[in-house]
């Protein structure tokens, strides 16, 4: 099921649809990750180029010849017998998204404030669920027409 009750607020499970390039009028191209819930609502999260490439490579199953930062982080967690159990995008203020990474070590869970881009890059690598608060989806969902104006990051990486 897509919605989970978290006391008062509803959390929506989303999938990472892909990494794209937005070309706003008068601005330089900007990488954007699209998240989609089961009802088709799409949330755009603008990220840095290196994070976009990291997310794209993880989605496509491409491995760098040497571990990149997100791969290193996952390896460190594994060596410490810790694992990422979920990512939560929990707020949106002034166009900036906020996220939390939940890590389980032994029987303890730790919530860590992190950038959504890093959380998404890590979640893909370990197949952790990505959740987003309903209020954030409501505030930021875009229309299908806006998605049609985006270009796959593949076109920029070739």
Q: Model confidence over 62-109: pLDDT tens digits?
A: 877 788 899 999 999 999 999 999 999 999 999 999 999 999 999 999
Q: CATH for 3-157, among 3.40.50.720, 3.40.630.30, 3.30.70.370, 3.10.690.10?
A: 3.10.690.10
Between 21 and 64, whose confidence is greater?
21
Question: Which of 47, 59, 53 minimizes the C-alpha distance to 123?
Answer: 59
Mean pLDDT (whole number) for 112-120: 97
Query: CA-CA distance, 97 to 87, in Å (whole number)?
Result: 13
Domain ranges across the chain:
3-157
Q: Is the pLDDT score of 2 beyond 70?
A: no
**How far from 10 is each of 100, 116, 158, CA to CA, in Å?**
16, 19, 40
Share of the chain above pLDDT 70, in %: 92
């Amino acid at each position: 099921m897509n919605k989970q009750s978290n006391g008062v607020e509803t959390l929506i499970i989303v999938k990472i649809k892909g990494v794209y390039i937005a070309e706003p009028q008068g601005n330089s191209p900007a990488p954007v990750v699209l998240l989609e819930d089961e009802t088709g609502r799409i949330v755009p999260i603008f990220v840095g180029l290196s994070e976009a490439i990291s997310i794209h490579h993880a989605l496509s199953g491409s491995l760098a010849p040497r571990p990149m930062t997100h791969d290193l982080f996952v390896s460190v967690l594994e060596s410490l017998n810790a694992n990422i159990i979920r990512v939560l995008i929990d707020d949106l203020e002034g166009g900036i998204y906020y996220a939390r990474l939940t890590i389980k070590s032994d029987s303890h869970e730790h919530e860590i404030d992190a950038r959504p881009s890093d959380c998404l890059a890590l979640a893909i690598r370990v197949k952790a669920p990505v959740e987003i608060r309903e209020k954030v989806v409501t505030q930021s969902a875009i229309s299908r027409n806006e998605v049609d104006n985006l270009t796959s990051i593949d076109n920029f990486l070739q």
